[in-house]
Amino acid sequence: MTKVGSVKFIFLFLFVSVSVFGQKVKYKDIFALLNAKQYEQAEPFLKRYLKENDDNPNAFLFMGIIYQDKSGKMDVLKQTKGAIANMDSAILFYDRALKALTEKEVKKNDEYYQAYNRRDLRTGEFGVKLSDIQFDLQKRNEGLRERIDRVKMVKYYFALSDSLYKKSTKLFTYFQQTYPGENEMYLRADEETVKGLSALAIRFDSCTKAFEHYKASLSNLGKTGYNQSISLTEIKDYKGDGVSGSDFYLEEVSLWDYKKFAEKSKLVIEKEIFPMRDNLVNYDIEINKLRERLTRDSVSVKSDLTRLINKLLYDQLKKFDADPLPMEVFTLKTTDLEYRSTLLENKPYRDSANVHLRLKLVKAEMKVLDKLDSIAGKLTNANLEEEVLNYNHFISNTYSNSIVLKSYIKALKEYAEREKRKKTEELELHLGAINWIIDKQDSISVVLTKSSKNFKPLIAVEEKYTAGLTYKDSLSADGYFYTITASRKPETKVIFPIDKPSFKLARLPVSKSISYTDAGGQLYFILIFSERVADGKYPATLAKIYRSDGLAWSVNYKMSFVPVELTFKQDIGELTIKGESQVMVIDKNGKLLK
């Protein structure tokens, strides 16, 4: 029978003898299992034996070995308490063995101590010495006590690193729950935020240091089945990253790099956000100074506004907010100043006779006013509650609170609306005035698309002159000519006779006109003709007019063609009326030459 078969037989024998017959277990039978290192099979029998026998040092020794063996097989991280308990039990039984061991015991039961059989260097003989057994047990106890301390240290640093990481995750989660986004965290940050970020960096740093201590302590335990390493992952997505936990039992422990996030965020807040907040307040103060100067001295501050523009400050804010409230408020305030400055600049020219200048001034004012109204409207309709949270420092240091800011925006919105109504009326007035020459009670249109009751334009050369037919009644018509001035007041005006029957009011739709003027604008020819044939001819009236002297003459003609162009020979004073294929030549006195 083999040794293994013998052990199995002894185990079976012991089991049957104890369970069936209830007889006492003999130690020498248990020793067969112990000597074969079948500790798991031997343990229940040995424990039963020791309940009935408390004077066997060898049984105590092997009970210690069994507990030590069990502790060595246990997971130092997941079964720490059990491993330490087994080592404590081993120490206890080793101590009991030490106390019970004597020379007599060793000599009497030397077969139980053959593991300590050594050659005596002095005599050269083999044997078992009590001192060797005692020394071994003492060393075992020392080793176990030291291992207990090391296991405790390993477990402590392992648990500490895991705990600190969980606390780091919890603190980061607090930031996520407190601030809807990373930019909001920056913009709403205060000293407590900085403290929280510092705490996060320190906590995570302590976590990694604890893990380093764990690794160093673990190396002192020999083979444990653990050889973890840390892999750091940068937090790039504030809302999505940083919340998943980590398994410290894995070979590669993946951790979110909270320290890097915290230090970067803290640096941004301290080096960019806090100084930027002070700059915003100072910028607002500078705008207020310009407002005071404008009000006190009644002078335009447009040039100062241009110098005041701080693109750097705007670019800094844009890093954290695509549409920052302070810049909108600044734009509102500076646009208000721009409008008021424009009014001051335009004041000396408001009563100018030049309708174009007056129209230009009103348009310039309306342009700035539209901008003011647009910005005020945008701020009025904006969800300022969220913006107020982002810019609490700015608002509290410039407007005391959000209520005052909202009131300021509302006041400027109402002001812009009042001014727009007033300027719209002015604009309409000037737009109307620019189309008419006012001659006492008469209004003469300077554009072909408009006409008054008595004056019907047939020709209008922009900003130079206009001509047409004027009616006292539907049957009585005259020709008219007015030069167009910037003031829309008459400068050169001529009323000249025409062929009245041919140009009565009913025939106005077929009445046309062409003209000629010299380069200096001193001489004018106005030809009024009808496209309706009368007695086979086209009736027409030609007027010669000088800017300085007025009407030279007007002559009626019966033309065989519809005129399309007038040309003038300055040297001989002849005017040529051209049709599609025919011409008429008129001398300087209005006489038809051919």
Give pLDDT tens digits for 552-563: 999 999 999 999
One domain for residues 316 and 220: no
The mean pLDDT value for 106-123 works out to: 88
Please list, in sequence order, all residues whose beta carbon lies within 8 angstroms of the beta carbon of residue 55, skipping any fewer than 6 positions away.
100
Residue 107 lies in a domain: yes
One domain for residues 217 and 333: no
**Closest CA relative to residue 478, chosen from 509, 517, 443, 504:** 504
Residue 396 lies in a domain: yes
Q: How many domains does the chain have?
A: 3
Q: What are phi and psi of 78, to 5 degrees?
A: -90, -20
pLDDT above 70 (res 14): no
| More reliable by pLDDT, 141 or 121 | 141
Please list, in sequence order, all residues whose beta carbon lies within 8 angstroms of the beta carbon of residue 478, skipping any fewer than 6 positions away.
469, 470, 472, 495, 496, 497, 498
At 332 the three-state DSSP class reads helix
One domain for residues 414 and 443: no
One domain for residues 216 and 298: no
Residue 43 lies in a domain: no
One domain for residues 420 and 560: no
**Closest CA relative to residue 441, chosen from 428, 427, 454:** 454
20-61 residue pLDDT tens:
345 677 899 999 999 999 999 999 999 999 999 989 999 999
Can you give the pLDDT at residue 22? 56
The mean pLDDT value for 342-351 works out to: 90
The C-alpha atoms of residue 215 and residue 167 are separated, in whole angstroms, by 21
Buried b vs exposed e over 474-488: b needs ≥16 C-beta within 10 Å? eeebbbbbbbbbebb
pLDDT above 80 (res 580): yes
Can you give the pLDDT at residue 430? 86
Can you give the pLDDT at residue 1? 42
The C-alpha atoms of residue 161 and residue 150 are separated, in whole angstroms, by 16
311-345 residue pLDDT tens:
888 888 999 999 999 999 999 999 999 999 999 99
Domain-ending residue, one of 409, 433, 457: 433
Residue 320 lies in a domain: yes
pLDDT above 60 (res 17): no
Provide the CA 268 distance to its chain's centre, in angstroms. 15
How far from each other are the two terminal CA atoms of the chain, in whole angstroms?
157
363-394 residue pLDDT tens:
999 999 999 999 999 998 888 888 889 999 99
At 21 the three-state DSSP class reads coil
For residue 476 the two structure tokens come to: 């009585």
The mean pLDDT value for 223-236 works out to: 94
Question: What is the longest distance spanned by two Cα atoms in the chain?
Answer: 169
Please list, in sequence order, all residues whose beta carbon lies within 8 angstroms of the beta carbon of residue 295, skipping any fewer than 6 positions away.
none
One domain for residues 94 and 224: yes
446-472 residue pLDDT tens:
999 999 999 999 999 999 999 999 999
Residue 119 lies in a domain: yes
For residue 395 the two structure tokens come to: 């608002």
Question: What is the residue range of 212's domain?
Answer: 54-256
Q: Are 540 and 557 in contact (CB under 8 A)?
A: yes
Q: What are phi and psi of 522, to 5 degrees?
A: -105, -20
Q: Are 357 and 349 in contact (CB under 8 A)?
A: yes
Which DSSP helix (H) or strand (E) runs through 540?
strand 538-546
At 253 the three-state DSSP class reads strand
Q: Are 344 and 298 in contact (CB under 8 A)?
A: yes
Q: Are 340 and 294 in contact (CB under 8 A)?
A: yes
One domain for residues 76 and 211: yes
One domain for residues 220 and 283: no
Using only C-alpha atoms, the chain has a radius of gyration, in whole angstroms, of 56
One domain for residues 131 and 202: yes
Q: Are 158 and 214 in contact (CB under 8 A)?
A: yes
Can you give the pLDDT at residue 23? 63
Quickly state the pLDDT bin for 121 (edges 50, 70, 90).
Answer: confident
In this structure, the strands spanning 229-233 and 252-256 are parallel
Residue 65 lies in a domain: yes
Percent of the chain with pLDDT strictly greater than 90: 81
Q: Helix, strand, coil % (nearest 5) of the chain?
A: 55, 15, 25
- For CA atoms 374, 379, 383, 386, the dihedral sign is positive
Phi-psi region of 231 (alpha: psi -120 to 50; beta: other; left: phi over 0): beta
Q: What is the mean pLDDT of the chain?
A: 91
For residue 99 the two structure tokens come to: 């106390």
Q: Which pTM value belongs to this model?
A: 0.74
